[in-house]
Amino acid sequence: MNAWKLPLPLAHKLTLPAGGCNPRARPPGPFALIQDMIDMPDSVSRTLAADPSGSLPEAAIDIRDLRKTYRGNGKAPPKEALKGINLSVPRGSIYGLLGPNGAGKSTTINILAGLVNKTGGTAAIWGIDIDRHPRSARAAIGIVPQELNLDPFFTPREILDLQAGLYGVPKAERQTDRLLEAVGLKDKANAYARTLSGGMRRRLMVAKAMVHAPPVLVLDEPTAGVDVELRQSLWAYVRELNQAGTTVVLTTHYLEEAQELCDTIAIVNHGQVVACESKEALLGRIDAKEMVVTLEAPLAAVPSELAGYDVSLPTPQRLVVRYRPSQTRVADLLGAMATAGLSVKDLSIVESDLEDVFLQLTRAPATDADYR
């Protein structure tokens, strides 16, 4: 399956790459399928003019001290879902928002979407305050929720037309048929949504979020419950869309997905941001590596020369050494092996991954020291 080929986002038309190329130039790759579309509908583009000068915000999404407390119900006490979250999503990035269930990710997204009222703080989308200009802010963002909330008795064409109408896109400027073609649903345009497979519904949800060509796209668990092929297709599409200028915010439980796609990652736990750094900086937090050594000859036990290290012998010809790079040099490990008379056939270093960082940061309840 090829990457989905959706219409050019408004962000592509607004963002000038370094070197000053034409901001309306069409990106290469799968987008060429529909390279004749689209000029942003005037009815929508007018709402996205953040200021008369036409300058672009540095942050696609800017959240300051965002708080949300749900009222108690009966004997249940009030629940503080967000405890002063601060996030700044760089324009043009792929931004990961991670956290365990109940951490506050969905509440944050629902506030941006206008589905939940915040208790305190501020939030702006594409430089537009969600309180002062709610309609304009919503026009600047497309959200693909985790739930497949499609009317089962509407067709894909009707669903996209209705969504475009809600955003004020005139009928003459709607790109329904081309959106359906882009997500591979052209032949299902007039079928009831209840007859579509789970993967088809997921693709329809993405098309639904793109009817107004928003500069910011939020994908909430986009690959939950989909097969490997569709997941790979979505990854490729996200990269293409981002290269065209769209800022993408991704929430996911698949940590390898965030590690593969995201430039910057924020980890939320208990309603607080416990980490917000580049992917490389986050991975650098874990001072632990493994050296996996394949030996020429089998061993009956770990040599005494390696007794001072954390060494295991899973098989007679395979040594695993766990060490802290800040305290142990690889040269010292290799020297100890040479002293023990070991002949090395193969050697590899296993780096820490995002899962290690995630577990370290979310294992214990958040404290004031974690909050930043």
pLDDT per residue of the chain (372 residues) written in tens, 0 to 9 = 444 455 544 434 433 333 333 323 333 333 333 233 333 444 444 444 434 445 788 899 999 999 999 998 878 889 999 999 999 999 999 999 998 888 899 899 999 999 999 999 999 999 999 999 998 999 999 999 888 889 999 999 999 999 999 888 999 899 899 889 878 899 999 999 999 988 888 889 988 998 998 999 999 888 776 777 778 877 887 888 888 888 999 998 778 888 889 999 999 999 999 989 888 888 777 777 889 999 999 999 999 999 889 999 999 999 999 888 888 888 999 999 999 999 999 999 887 777 777 777 777 554 443 333
Write out the two tokens for 249. 């915010």
What single-letter amino acid sits at 19? G
Tell me which CATH homologous superfamily contains domain 10-283.
P-loop containing nucleotide triphosphate hydrolases (3.40.50.300)
Q: Where are the domains of the chain?
A: 10-283, 289-351
CB 210 within 8 A of CB 6: yes
CB 264 within 8 A of CB 242: no
What pLDDT, on the 0 to 100 scale, is given for residue 16? 30
- Strand, helix or coil for residue 53: coil
**CATH class of the structural domain 289-351:** alpha beta
Domains 10-283 and 289-351 share a fold: no
CA dist 142 and 144 (Å) reads 7
